[in-house]
Structure 1
Amino acid sequence: MLELERLTVSYGGLRALSDVSLVVPEGTVVALLGPNGAGKSTTLRTISGLIPPESGHV
């Protein structure tokens, strides 16, 4: 299972994700969709440990 709880991520002074929560049960396939700048790549980078969250946890 993957769980994001109240995840907030910022680059410098720019907030990219704010208070994001998500639960993905084991065996589930998920797609992140949205316009440019919506935080899709930031979410994946934070899940993979490349970017530390400002608050919350994965």
Structure 2
Amino acid sequence: MAKGDVLLKVDNVSLSFGGVKAITNISFDVRKGEIRAIIGPN
């Protein structure tokens, strides 16, 4: 696997808790050697 190859592809993901929208239509790729995080208020 070459550096830059996509290991994970996320398309249009939404997440809500009760009536609170935490994430709306998020999309991203994770490539070899990258680390991704979703952070926000707790």
Q: TM-score, normalised by structure 2?
A: 0.62
Higher radius of gyration, 1 or 2: 2
Residue 23 (str. 1) matches residue 37 (str. 2): no
Aligned to 2:37: 32
Overall identity of the aligned pairs, in %? 20
4+ residue stretches of structure 1 with deviation over 4 A? none
Question: In angstroms, what is the RMSD of aligned CA positions?
Answer: 2.2
Question: What is the total number of aligned residue pairs between the two structures?
Answer: 36
| Structure ranking higher in helix proportion | 1
Unaligned runs of 5+ in 1: 38-58
Q: TM-score, normalised by structure 1?
A: 0.48
| Structure ranking higher in strand proportion | 2
